[in-house]
Amino acid sequence: MSKYATLGEFLLTSVKDRVSLSFSDIESVLSFPLPKSARKFRTWWANDKTHSHAKFGWLDYGWRVIEVDLGNQIIHFRRVAALRLARSKSSQEVSDEAPLSTLHRVRQFETKARELLSQYFKSKLRPGMFPGISKLFDYVSQDKDIVGEAKYLSLGKARIQPAKFASISEAVWLLEKIQARHKFLIFGSTKVIPLKWLQRYGSLLKNISFYFWDETRDLEVLTASSEDN
């Protein structure tokens, strides 16, 4: 996987069809500096799949560069319409007005969790789709025997919003339609919301695991009887 795939995955989570990122924004997402040529030459940003940074940085994820503003150091991206339905994050996870820092935090969680889960399942996990379902899942093994979704739901003012429960229920509903040996949801930020969901609806859950990870502890399996702390 190219080191520029982090940018492609970041764009993939956007609820917008057009995204403008400064060079510093892009470097924050990538966690490394752009090469000098990216700051000097428009051709570096060409939509050319023979360039690995373009292929893995945006083209393979359904985005194109539509404008290069070298003077202001801003790159404007547009989503390819054909992939619009492939992925849609719940507005309760990433709002249309969410600051870059929030979006970056969500992407960091998904990316780090992918590394952890790949080790946990002993199988490389990448974003993937299944026939008949217009949804790009966060984690899919090459043999499609493992599939999962990340949920980074903030508690806000300590009030459980019905829409967040609906987001979990939708993910469970989609996972139930898939034939796979391991199906799961992994949660970040807070485990209060998934625990409350399990307490209400866990008896209806079949063959789908709930995990929680806060990056400071080991992966935790959530059940309706898990402690809320």
Q: What is the DSSP string of the chain?
A: --TTHHHHHHHHT-SSSEEEEEHHHHHHHHTSPPPHHHHH-GGGG---TTSHHHHHHTGGGTEEEEEEETTTTEEEEEE-GGGGGG----TTTS-TT--HHHHHHHHHHHHHHHHHHHHHHTS-EEEEEETTEEEEEEEEETTS-EEEEEEE---TTT---HHHHHHHHHHHHHHHTS--SEEEEEEES-SHHHHHHHHHHGGG--S-EEEE--SSS--EEE-TTS---
Co-location of 170 and 212 in the same domain: yes
Range of the domain at 122: 87-222
Domain boundary, last residue among 30, 55, 84 = 84
pLDDT at 61: 83
Co-location of 134 and 205 in the same domain: yes
Domain boundary, last residue among 84, 103, 119 = 84
Q: Does a structural domain hold residue 27?
A: yes
Q: Does a structural domain hold residue 190?
A: yes
Q: Which residues contact 29 (CB under 8 A, 6 or more apart)?
A: 6, 7, 10, 21, 104, 107
Count of beta carbons in the 10 Å neighbourhood of residue 211: 21
Q: Does a structural domain hold residue 123?
A: yes
CATH number of the domain at 98, please. Answer: 3.40.1350
Structure tokens at 111: 């990316």
Domain boundary, last residue among 84, 110, 132 = 84
Co-location of 75 and 115 in the same domain: no
Q: Does a structural domain hold residue 136?
A: yes
Co-location of 45 and 93 in the same domain: no
Count up the domains in the chain and report the number. 2
pLDDT at 128: 82
pLDDT at 105: 78
pLDDT at 15: 65
Co-location of 102 and 205 in the same domain: yes
Segment-wise mean pLDDT, segments of 10 residues, the chain, 229 residues: 80 79 88 93 95 91 93 92 43 45 75 94 88 80 94 72 84 92 95 92 90 91 80
Co-location of 49 and 92 in the same domain: no
Q: Does a structural domain hold residue 227?
A: no
What's the pTM value of the predicted model, to 2 decimals?
A: 0.60
Q: Which residues contact 85 (CB under 8 A, 6 or more apart)?
A: 134
Co-location of 24 and 133 in the same domain: no
Q: Does a structural domain hold residue 229?
A: no
pLDDT at 127: 82
Q: Facing residues of 91 across strands?
A: none
Q: Does a structural domain hold residue 129?
A: yes
Co-location of 73 and 91 in the same domain: no
Co-location of 64 and 128 in the same domain: no
Co-location of 78 and 92 in the same domain: no
Q: Does a structural domain hold residue 35?
A: yes
CA distance 50 to 29: 23
Co-location of 110 and 184 in the same domain: yes
pLDDT at 118: 95
Co-location of 63 and 93 in the same domain: no
The torsion defined by the Cα of 184, 57, 31 and 88, in degrees rounded to 10, comes to -40
